[in-house]
Amino acid sequence: MTRTVELPLWLLILILAFATVTFASHFLFPSVRWFFRRRLERAVARLNEKLERPIEPFKLARRYDMVQRLSYDPEVAQAIAEHAHEEGIPEQVAFEKAQRYAREIVPRFSATAYFGFGIWVAKLLSRAFYRVRLGAFDEARLREIEPDATVVFVMNHRSNMDYVLVTWLAAERSHLSYAVGEWARVWPLRGLIRSMGAFFIRRKSRNALYRKVLARYVRMATDGGVTQAMFPEGGLSLNGTVGAPKLGLLSYIVQDFEPGKNRDVVFVPVAMNYDRVLEDRVLVAADVSGHRKFGLRFKYVARHVGRHVWQRLTGKFHRFGYASVSFGAPLSLTAYLGDRTPNQILIPLGKELMSRIRAVVPVLPVPVVAAILLEDGGHTRAQIEERFETLVADMESRGAHVHLPRGDMVYAAEVGLRLLLSRKLVVEYGDGPDARYRVRPADRLILSYYANSIAHLSDAIRTVQISDLAPAEVADAAVLPK
């Protein structure tokens, strides 16, 4: 037992390495994880004291545990058996596929990343590009929502800045769990977005097994009280209107809902509008082409980013006008369901939510001026101001929320016109008070994109459709800068 044994150096190093790893995995790592988890729990407890709706334990569960729970869910197990039978493959292979879907969907939420880094970045970006204003907001009604209810913010989708804007404005209320598409799965966004609590979805997937795994995760999160944010339109608006609802995610929340058994779900309508949407030309070009492929070239992006950085450095950058967010009247799923079944209310519920979103879309200077300039003929500045006042009065009489910079109608019209002139979407003819302003023919769809965002708030607003344009104008609108 005490005699000397000779070993090659490489074998000794290998044995020591295995011993070190074994010691660390059995003694050191669990202690370190426990130490940091205790610190995290204390930090979250302090954070929950400040939040109106505390972070639910569901969000703080270990990701591995959530993946396992989702993979072994009885409904997922049934879907696995059906998938294996349909595809003629062993159930173990189908189970591994379901686990892969679960790992893809389940986020790795970090309260530190979300509240320490994410909120700071969202606030910085929002203020860097826009003058942010809170529109319609009935705080008393939002506070009346039962503490145990699951809150789901349902929003119109104007820009990718929507995520940033709402994340910042809802920071004092709760963490928001977003459903994000395939665009966010690229490195390095994937890890960051997953740590922010967002979950990935394949919007176009028709795979029954994948859909069941996704549906069960959404149901678990809803039953767990996770505050969620979703875009019922399913994608960015290509023409500026608030579109019809796509019922996929909404059906996962509503199906199998039983009042009294499940905690109530309260939908909060949220509407956003901008004086300038960063992706407006890309979206309009996609609308003209008839498909949702955004043909944006890297050279185009790099040129605009470089120009923006140069304007920042030289002090010549001016923000892109106003961005505004409004909150509508909450809708309780329990109250809306009444004596009906979830299947009976799904379509009416989708329409009702979109109607409530449309009702609170903020009215900003650029959309109003765009609607005026799309009317026949050119307009003088005085005519624009007069027409601006008429349209605003009409929309306010219908209950619309209008943001007037400085509370001044004339100044608001000036702001809208100045922003369109700075982008060369509008051309000035003549000098002095008789100067007239007209839309560049190639940019009529761009202005219509902005006017469409408020067209439902006034019968007096007439927008331009693709069918109204000459073929040459349509071709110009579909061309993106190279």
Mean pLDDT of the chain: 81
The model's pTM: 0.83
- Mean pLDDT over residues 32-58, rounded? 55
Mean pLDDT comparison of 94-98, 429-433, 471-475, highest-scoring range: 94-98
Residue 451, CA distances (Å) to 105, 240, 250, 320, 448 in order: 37, 8, 28, 17, 5
Would the pLDDT of 32 be above 60? no
- Asked which of 60-74, 295-309, 310-324 is least confident by mean pLDDT, the reply is 295-309
- Give the CATH H-level superfamily of domain 103-278+320-359: Glycerol-3-phosphate (1)-acyltransferase (3.40.1130.10)
Q: How confident is the model at residue 35 (pLDDT cuts 50, 70, 90)?
A: very low
| CATH architecture for the domain at 365-477 | Orthogonal Bundle (1.10)
Q: Write down the pLDDT at residue 192.
A: 61
Question: Mind listing the pLDDT tens digit for each residue in 245-293?
Answer: 988 889 999 988 888 888 899 999 999 999 999 888 889 888 888 777 6
Query: 461 versus 181: which is more confidently predicted?
Result: 461
Rounded to the nearest 10 degrees, how much is the dihedral formed by the CA atoms of 409, 410, 415, 421? 140
Would the pLDDT of 453 be above 90? yes
Q: How confident is the model at residue 34 (pLDDT cuts 50, 70, 90)?
A: very low
Q: Write down the pLDDT at residue 458.
A: 92
Would the pLDDT of 130 be above 70? yes
